[in-house]
Each structure stands twice: as C-alpha cells, then as structure tokens.
Chain A
Amino acid sequence: MVKVLFFARLRQQLGMGEITLEDFSGSLSELRKTLCEQHPDWSPHLQRDDIRMALNQELAETGAQVKAGDEVAFFPPVTGG
C-alpha cells in the first residue's frame, strides 16, 4: 500500500487530501499516470509542469522508485516565509 497526499490548491482541485494505492510499484511518474487513469478529471491538475513531488517527505524527481509502505505527496510550488 502506498499513501498519496495532496496539498494546497491541488488538494482543493482534486477534492481530497489523501488516497491509498494498493499493490503499486514503479516510478513517481508511473504513479501519477496510474492516478490519472483512475481519475481522468485529475489529469490537467496533476500533470502540470510546476507540480512538485515528495517521496517519504523529501523532494523527489519523477524517476524515483516507489515501493509498498512509502508516502508520496504532490503539491504546487511552495509559498512560505
């Protein structure tokens, strides 16, 4: 099981902050593709170039490998400070 989190504007656009994927293994970009296949209306939001990804609470690139038990997050560019 992989826990997937969404934050800020993206969370509002997708209408949820958390979803779990059973039996997923592959890269972050494959995980994003899987989510967009399951929820076609997410694609324009989730596939935006500026969406950042984190794997186990650290910023990660699209090629990073995801395994069972991992926590993945998608979010817009950060605006703290």
Chain B
Amino acid sequence: MKLHFSRRLPAVSGANMKAVDRIEVCETPLDVAAEYTALQGNSGDGACALFVGSVRDFNAGSDVCGLALEHYPGMTEKSLQQIINDARDRWSLGRVTIVHRVGPMQINDEIVFVGVTSPHRQAAFAACQYIMDRLKTEAPFWKREAVADEFGKPSERWVEARASDAAEMEKWSAG
C-alpha cells in the first residue's frame, strides 16, 4: 500500500489573519454592538478603541430636527481605504472598521463608527483618533441639516466645515 502525503499549505501568519479592513457606507442604522463583536471577535488583540459619532440636536445656534448626508460613491470608499492604509503604516493594528451612514437621519442616530484593534491601547487610541481626524477633513461626505426657527418653521442648510477640524488634522503632520 502506498501512502500519499499531501504537503500542508503554509500556515497563514497571525498578522495577516488579523489585518482585516471593513469599510461600509450604508443607508440603514448602524448596529454598534454587532460591529464591535465582529471587530473584536477572534482578533486576538488585547486592545480595541471605538469612536461613535451621532446626530446632535443643536448646531450653529438653532434647533436641528434632522440630518441628511450626501457622499461621492466610489471616491468615498477609496478615501476611507487610503486613510486606513496610512494608519496601518503608522501603528501596528489588527482589525480596522469604518462604517459611515448616508441618507436621511434622526437626532441621536449614529452617523459613523470607527473601531481599531491592536496589541496595545496607545496604538488603538491614536489610530482611532487619526482615522476620525482624516475622515473629517478628507472623506467626501456632506451634511445637510433640517432646522426649525423660533416659530417652528422648518428649513434646510448645508453644514459648514470647521477650521478646528483642519487644525486637528494639522497636528498629525506636525508630529
């Protein structure tokens, strides 16, 4: 009897197994718990930093009753991928997730989820902040708010970009 030994496929290294990017632009509500579970489950990393941004009820001196987000399909995903790639060049990261909602939203709805795993908390914290700072200044999303005046009359306005967001981004180039 002849025995045939098949050669084992080379094991995929742990680092490759863990370096998973998830980028999604969606029109449905974010499921923060599910995103966290998918991110941290079996990552093997000891640290996980999350940021969740939500629709607030007050901006630029008026009551906000709703929000709509427009984006540039295609460029949005490319831009988010580039931001993740640059974060991976700076820190040792495991899994990285960016989920961004578009379309109409209500107050308190989650707009964006950024999650990062790493062996160390410093890298996870820093990368999470870096990704948000880049996203705020580069990724092609635009917010339009529905606001009500003092008489409750509704109107719409595009949200203005903030100089403070650009200043936060500048800190990364200076460092």
Chain A residues close to B by CB (< 8 Å): 5, 7-9, 50, 54, 57-59, 73, 75-81
Q: Residue on B with the closest CB to A54?
A: B75
- Chain B residues, CB < 8 A from A8: 70, 142, 144, 158
Question: Residues 138-173 of chain B: 1 if any A CB is under 8 Å from the residue's CB, otherwise 0?
Answer: 111111100000000000001111000000000000
Chain B residues close to A by CB (< 8 Å): 53, 69-72, 74-75, 78-79, 100, 111-112, 132, 135-144, 158-161
Which of A5, A58, A73, A78 is in CB contact (< 8 Å) with B142?
A78
Q: Residue on B with the closest CB to A80?
A: B141
A80/B136 in contact, CB under 8 A:
yes
A54/B141 in contact, CB under 8 A:
no
A73/B72 in contact, CB under 8 A:
yes
**Additional 6 contacts, C-beta under 8 A, given A57-B79, A73-B140, A75-B142:** A50-B161, A54-B75, A59-B138, A80-B136, A81-B100, A81-B135
Q: Residue on A with the closest CB to B69?
A: A80
A57/B111 in contact, CB under 8 A:
no
A76/B78 in contact, CB under 8 A:
no
Which of A7, A58, A59, A76 is in CB contact (< 8 Å) with B161?
A76
Q: How far is the CB of B74 from chain A (nearest CB, A)?
A: 5
B158/A76 in contact, CB under 8 A:
yes
Task: Give 9 closest A-B pairs by Cβ, nearest first.
Answer: A80-B141, A77-B161, A8-B142, A57-B75, A9-B158, A81-B136, A79-B159, A79-B143, A81-B135
